[in-house]
Structure 1
Amino acid sequence: MRLFAALLPPEEVLDEVERAIAAHVGRVDGVRWPSRETWHVTLGFFGEVPERALPELEVRLARAVHRYGPFELAFAGFGAFPRVLWAGVTGDSLVRLADSVRAGARRAGAGETDSKRFHPHLTLARARTKVDMKGLAESLGEFSGSAWGASTVHLMRSHLGPPVRYESLAEWAFADGSAKWG
């Protein structure tokens, strides 16, 4: 199973992002715009995970998530990685949460846990070939979305399709506000 942990933003903030990019969607050669139904904020990508590792992964992820209380996030600005256009995500506890989730997955022996530095973002488009994604990000201008409360982490399964789709296998709510951080 191809798995990752993610936050699923509420519809109303996704509406704001969708409006901000609407003029560009489908109008840039060589750029694929994933379906909004697939939009998420990845906390950790685990790759192929054997089914036998799933129970331990779920225990470790639950433990990691329960160390945190709910917190606020917001989408802010656009940027680019090579061949990827994204909306940035701000929130004080997000990096610590992602580190905890990734550490739990490593302890569970969950596949190819991503070791790259965490950069919180929402992927909006991917280029099939070399496209100036930085220019596209700049053309979108400034963006600042409404704040939203993160309160649940999902363990997601990728079905590569076509079409690509994601399935939530499990979810964990954060502890109340009195929980200790990181």
Structure 2
Amino acid sequence: MPRLFTGLEVPAEVAMSLSMYRGGLPGARWIDPENYHITLRFIGDIDEKTAHDIYVSLGEVHRHPVTVTIDELASFGGGRPRAVFARAVPSTELIELQADHERKVRRAGLPPETRKYTPHVTLARLRDASPIDVADYLATRGAFPAIRFTATRFVLFSSRASVGGGPYVVEAAYPLG
């Protein structure tokens, strides 16, 4: 059973810029920059037939290239922080692309995503990180300069069952434009 998700790759130069924020947070497991991405739709562990159906249906997604702006560092989890991430602005074009992926996955028979979509690049997964340490980490990073890139394709990724963070394999790439 493959574990799949769709996403946008983060260009190497953007990944390098984001990797400068690694370190200085107890309890953080930093993601390798080559595994940075923006998830569009987590699919999960599915059978081969469903994987094939999704692979084919994603080829029906026709969108223009997407300009992505990463504008701040933040965390998920509030009082029990679980990840530090770089937020991508939820532009109309990004949200519409994600909605296309949601529709394709649901059409293949999978249940709808229950969480609100928050486009982001996960920088670290947190285990037993203090909320105060996370707040201090975010506060000491100051103003985050916006980083922009244009995604000219989206991809279908696979991963091994783990606690997250890669390595990820591009199973298929679909052009935007």
Which interval holds the TM-score relative to the shorter structure?
0.7 to 0.9
Distance in 2 (CA, whole Å) between partners of 1:117 and 1:79 is: 16
- Number of residues of Structure 1 aligned to a counterpart in Structure 2: 168
Q: TM-score, normalised by structure 2?
A: 0.86
**Residue number in structure 2 paired with 1:148:** 149
State the shift of 1:55 in Å. 1.9
Runs of 4+ residues deviating >2 angstroms: 112-115, 133-139, 160-164
Distance in 2 (CA, whole Å) between partners of 1:77 and 1:71 is: 19
State the shift of 1:10 in Å. 0.9
Distance in 1 (CA, whole Å) between partners of 2:124 and 2:87 is: 13
State the shift of 1:48 in Å. 0.8
Amino acid at match of 1:102: E
Name the CA shift for 1:15/1:55 in 2 (closer, same or farther; >3 Å): same
Distance in 1 (CA, whole Å) between partners of 2:42 and 2:71 is: 22
Equivalent pair of 1:13/1:145 in contact (CA under 8 Å) = no
State the shift of 1:130 in Å. 4.2
**Residue number in structure 1 paired with 2:6:** 5
Long gaps (5+) in structure 1: 176-182
User: Which of 65, 70, 79 is 1:75 aligned to?
Assistant: 70
User: Which of 164, 169, 172 is 2:171 aligned to?
Assistant: 169
Equivalent pair of 1:78/1:142 in contact (CA under 8 Å) = no
Distance in 1 (CA, whole Å) between partners of 2:70 and 2:167 is: 23
Long gaps (5+) in structure 2: none
Q: TM-score, normalised by structure 1?
A: 0.84
RMSD of Structure 2 on Structure 1 (CA): 1.9
**Residue number in structure 2 paired with 1:50:** 47
